[in-house]
Structure 1
Amino acid sequence: MIVTGLLCGALLGFVMQRGRFCLTGGFRDMYIAKDNRMFYALLIAVAVQSVGVYTLIELGIVQFDAGGFSWMATIIGSFIFGIGIVLAGGCATGTWYRAGEGLLGSWIALFGYMFMSAVMRTGILGPVDQSMKSVQTSSNSIAETTGISVWVFIAIFIAIVLWVVIKELKKPKIAIPTMKPKRTGLSHLLFEKRWHPFFTAVLVGVIALLAWPLSEATGRMFGLGITAPSANILQFLVTGDNQFINWGVFLVLGIFLGSFIAAKASREFRFRMPDVKTGISSFLGGNLMGFGASLAGGCSIGNGLVMTAMMTWQGWISLLFIILGTWTASYFVFIRPQVKKKTVVSDTTITA
């Protein structure tokens, strides 16, 4: 359990750090910069995992039960989570891997995330969490609800992903000035060369697929997951109860380790202290992340990558509201201040 969890997490942390696989930035850029590349990269990772996991299910290697769909908790929680990741400066996985780079603001966000996740799971907000999740439909599976084979949905999804990827790759390339490589061979490819987001996405999808049999071999019947394991770490440190230690805990610790290794080897690791305003924002964002992800039953990885791949209502509706939450927060954090600044400058010029 320790070895496979750490290994899978380290691979994920290494790949995400080197590929700058940041879903917070990706969702934000869709709105602010009209840049959809990271969102398309997420779709690639979902497609890779979906085909792989359902193949393993057909072969009887892994099991999956979509369960019921707590629609109200998913919608509200996902929207709040989307707001939180903007304030925190990274999603759940992004916070773990950026903490491994030495970003102390991510450490602050991570503590808030772990704290509120634990409060929602076994603390005073547990009844609120359970009450909202009790409002649900009987089926979470899109295939089961519609009576159409899941492979039909997977085939349609893959066709859409291939179309958007080919369309994106055909766009004229923008020449980006690059410095002369300081390394050669494998070292250059691993630690210096900029990774394409689509290449990174394929690797993330493969690692997400690998997580299923490795996790289920320990009795944890799921793939990648960040929120519950993060809460488990804090709960274990407080109570000392070994029941909180499972494969997922070593997964998230592995993400931190893998990112640290990648950052050190690529000379990107350094401790960076946030200012007071950023630190407060990070802590608030982390708490919103923990509250929202716990309520929604998953974060941008658990819902946005894994449950989407399993073709569930929870996954796709959660992804939609995470994006909407990210856009809402981006407007108030990035766009509105600039609009006010321009208005003030304009009014000052007219008055003068």
Structure 2
Amino acid sequence: MWSRPGTGSAGAALAALGLALGGVAAERGALAALTRQISGVGLATAGTSSLPALIGLPAWLVILIALVGAGGLLWRLPPPSQTPGRWGWPVTGAIIGLLGVGAWVSGSRAGWHWGLSITGPSRSLLEAGLLGSPESFTWGAVMLIGIPLGSWASARLRGPFAWRAPAPAALPRRFLGGVLMGAGGTLAGGCNIGNALTGLSILSVHSLIATAAIAAGGVLGVRVSAWRDRAPP
């Protein structure tokens, strides 16, 4: 989401603002009480937070099983369509993985003890701008600023830059969707980046559950949208 404003998407910029507002509302605003209430409900995991410790297997074996399972899934699924002039998914995935490793290394040197994340830095950036609190301007907030700047530079290399906006009727939906993403990411302790990309890399049980729920919610949302489009007016 944060990369698309750099390419001129006004709708994505509005959604990113909604994400930050929704995250702040869930952390310390109108939805904070709900966040505390939901956070108090959990599953007993014998005090463990990592998957190897929970199931009693060494980390290398869990990683090996995950790699074999992911490889089998990729082998069975049809390959995604390739856009001419764009990177394929293997190259893109490898680069994102390297960026994730770089985030762990550079972030730890700046006192940021979590890798790539979007929801938390979105809250921090908004709080730093509204409250003027230096402690909110974290490594994650600086990283977040770099995302649209990098996508803008990439867009400029490909051609002229121009803002584009969706139909006016779609603007409230974009903003509300961003608010729900920010609130949901705060409730879940991270979004798809913080949980699926970063949390799973350290075999976090929390991130595994959150990622499964994100995937299930995405599938449900697509099916509901398709059903609504097929429904008679």
Partner Cα distance (2:150, 2:142) in 1: 12
Cα distance 1:336–1:97, how it changes in 2: closer, same or farther (>3 A)?
A: same
State the match for 1:262 in structure 2: 154
Partner Cα distance (1:278, 1:115) in 2: 19
State the match for 2:5 in structure 1: 99
Structure 1 residue 312 and structure 2 residue 204: aligned?
yes
State the match for 2:227 in structure 1: 336
Cα distance 1:332–1:161, how it changes in 2: closer, same or farther (>3 A)?
A: closer
- Divergent runs of 4+, >6 A: 173-176
User: Structure 1: which 5+ residue stretches go unaligned?
Assistant: 1-94, 179-192, 345-352
Cα distance 1:174–1:265, how it changes in 2: closer, same or farther (>3 A)?
A: closer
Q: Deviations over 1:138-187 (max 9, x none)?
A: 32211111121111110111222333445568x7x9898x6xxxxxxxxx
Cα distance 1:307–1:288, how it changes in 2: closer, same or farther (>3 A)?
A: same
Superposition pairs of residues 174-185 of structure 1, within 5 angstroms: none
What is the CA-CA distance between 1:280 and the residue it aligns to? 1.1
State the match for 2:135 in structure 1: 243
Root mean square deviation, CA, Å: 2.1
Structure 1 residue 272 and structure 2 residue 164: aligned?
yes
Whether contact under 8 Å (2:82, 2:88) holds in the other structure is: no
Structure 1 residue 213 and structure 2 residue 105: aligned?
yes
Whether contact under 8 Å (2:26, 2:183) holds in the other structure is: yes
Partner Cα distance (1:135, 1:268) in 2: 51
Cα distance 1:219–1:102, how it changes in 2: closer, same or farther (>3 A)?
A: same
Higher radius of gyration, 1 or 2: 1
Whether contact under 8 Å (1:103, 1:271) holds in the other structure is: yes
TM-score (norm 2): 0.91
State the match for 1:298 in structure 2: 190
What is the CA-CA distance between 1:270 and the residue it aligns to? 2.4
Q: Deviations over 1:248-306 (max 9, x none)?
A: 00111111111111111112742111112211110110010011000000001001111
User: Structure 2: which 5+ residue stretches go unaligned?
Assistant: none
Superposition pairs of residues 22-37 of structure 1, within 5 angstroms: none
State the match for 2:56 in structure 1: 147
Whether contact under 8 Å (1:116, 1:291) holds in the other structure is: yes
Partner Cα distance (1:241, 1:312) in 2: 31
Structure 1 residue 109 and structure 2 residue 15: aligned?
yes
**Which of residues 157, 160, 180 is equivalent to 1:288?**
180
Partner Cα distance (2:98, 2:71) in 1: 17
Partner Cα distance (2:97, 2:160) in 1: 25
> Identity of paired residues, percent?
27
